[in-house]
Amino acid sequence: MVKVNARKAQRTQDGRIHVIQEEPLLIAEELIPWEEVQLYPERPESLTRISSDLPIEVKMDLVQCLTRNRDIFAWSPKELLGVKPEVTEHRLHLLPNSRSVKQKKRNFSVEKNKIIRAEVDQLRKEGHIREVQFSSWLSNMVMVAKPNNKRRVYIDFRDLNRANPKDCYPLPRINQMVDSTSGNTYQRMMNKIFGEQIGWNVEVYVDDILIKSTLALSVRLNFRVTNNEAEYEALLAGLQTVRHVGAARVVVYSDSQLVAQQVTGNFEVNSDKLQLYWEVYEKMKEDFKEVMMTKILRVDN
């Protein structure tokens, strides 16, 4: 487990918003140049991306291969015909002692409600989802901004994920694959080294080991602030910390209703002081590929 302690001791009040200043670390992912290729001339939505720095011969072969096999791609929910249950079927295996969770309804802005409604109506029209009157599980939508200024719609399945048993080696026939490639030693060694941490703080794959890091951040403010200003200070300090360790995608859990709704665009910022904080947050957000804010209860923080 990696623990990062960040402490800001000396700060003065001069009427401005203070942000911890540091030199940017050169550990960000290098952006790969890309270009769009249209596989169906008569279908404008049939766009895919390929690397633009490929050799000409390789690029031509790749485009021809994609064009020949373009019928295997689904360009709309209507083309997702599904798989027959006799071929394969996916089921959720819940823990025996798990309880169903109905999340508290989240309120979105008018603009976001239109996007969610359009997505839900499209999936209902194509038969991928159906309406349930009395559900035992209820999860909220989550809106995430995309680089092309559009928004992606997700489902907050955190409660459902907690109710599912964790697969320590999440690959098909993992035991046979590991035994055949490493002489029965790799999996035994991982079990010996990490023991009970597997499935909690560590995930082990055939070619990779994922360690789930925990960042502990402590910030001391030597000037008077309101509760909402303190929440923004903690948010900005946290983003600076994860930027130091090279995080590209960040999920923020906040128990502040006001701050969480303001940074997600659901609430307007009416305070001049909070407006400055919000502008700093928007600027810092550009350093990451994705920043997702989630409102949680104070008892869960």
What are the tens digits of pLDDT across the range 99-142?
888 888 888 888 888 989 998 998 888 888 888 888 888 888 88
Residue 176 backbone dihedrals phi, psi, to 5 degrees: -65, -40
Q: What is the DSSP string of 200-259?
A: TTEEE-SS-EEE----EE----SS---HHHHHHHHHHHHHHHHHHTT-SEEEEEE--HHH
CA-CA distance, 206 to 140, in Å (whole number)?
A: 34
Q: What is the pLDDT of residue 99?
A: 87
Provide the pLDDT confidence category of residue 206 given band limits of 50, 70 and 90. Answer: low
pTM of the predicted model, to two decimals?
0.41
Report which of residues 33 and 168 the model is more confident about. Answer: 33
Measuring CA to CA, which residue among 256, 195, 251, 183 is closest to residue 225? 256
Which element (helix H / strand E) includes 126?
none
Model pLDDT for residues 77-88, shown as the tens digit of each residue: 777 777 788 888
CA-CA distance, 211 to 198, in Å (whole number)?
A: 9
Spatial contact of 19 and 236, defined as CB atoms under 8 Å apart = yes
Whether 240 has a pLDDT exceeding 50, the answer reads yes
- Beta-carbon contacts of 148 under 8 Å, excluding residues fewer than 6 positions away, are none
Whether 3 has a pLDDT exceeding 80, the answer reads no
Whether 19 has a pLDDT exceeding 50, the answer reads no
Angle between helices 272-285 and 227-244 (to 10 degrees): 10
Q: What are the extents of the domains in the chain?
A: 8-28+215-300, 34-79, 110-162, 174-211
Q: What is the pLDDT of residue 181?
A: 54
Percent of the chain scored above 90 by pLDDT? 3
Here the tokens at position 148 are: 């092309």
Please measure the distance between the N-terminal and C-terminal CA atoms of the chain and give it in whole angstroms: 20
Spatial contact of 66 and 48, defined as CB atoms under 8 Å apart = yes
Q: What is the DSSP string of 47-97?
A: EEEEETTS-HHHHHHHHHHHHHTGGGS-SSGGG-----TTT--------TT
CA-CA distance, 57 to 290, in Å (whole number)?
A: 34
Provide the pLDDT confidence category of residue 252 given band limits of 50, 70 and 90. Answer: confident
Whether 174 has a pLDDT exceeding 70, the answer reads no
Whether 281 has a pLDDT exceeding 90, the answer reads yes
Report which of residues 245 and 39 the model is more confident about. Answer: 39
Quickly name the fold that domain 8-28+215-300 has: Nucleotidyltransferase; domain 5 (3.30.420)
